[in-house]
Structure formats: C-alpha cells, structure tokens
Structure 1
C-alpha cells in the first residue's frame, strides 16, 4: 500500500509534526481501505 510507504517515509524524514493534517488524512485512508485491521478488535 502506497499510503503506508508514504507514512513511513514521512516518519523517517522527520516531517510528521509539520504534516500532521496529512498524517491524519493518511490514517483515514488506511482505516477505510483496511477496516478489519482497525475494527476487528472492537467487535466481540
């Protein structure tokens, strides 16, 4: 997934704090494309 690669590249380049809005946007994209990863632990 390109979103995770982009996220990791931002983390490595130290731009997370400067790009917080983009990180949150990527987080939403990742959650939307992989709902089971994020929501499965919540379901019982």
Structure 2
C-alpha cells in the first residue's frame, strides 16, 4: 500500500514539473515577443 502511495506522489510531482516547464516556456515566449515588439516600435 505504501508503495502505490509513493508512486502516486511521484506521478503528482512529475505532473507538477511538466506544468511548471510549460508555464516557464510560455512566459519566455511572451517575454521574447514583447521585447521584439518594443524593439520594432
């Protein structure tokens, strides 16, 4: 029982890391677009 519980926690951690990676990627893209937009104005 404890083993499956640990696997569940590992799955949650993996999902959180993936979400954080996606969020950081989106923020990076938005920042680049803003910088390029300001440079073109």
The TM-score by the shorter chain falls in which range?
0.3 to 0.5
Q: TM-score if structure 2 supplies the norm length?
A: 0.41
Higher helix share: 2
Structure of higher RCO (CA pairs closer than 8 Å, 6+ residues apart): 1
- Look at both structures and tell me which one has the larger radius of gyration over its CA atoms: 2
Q: TM-score if structure 1 supplies the norm length?
A: 0.39
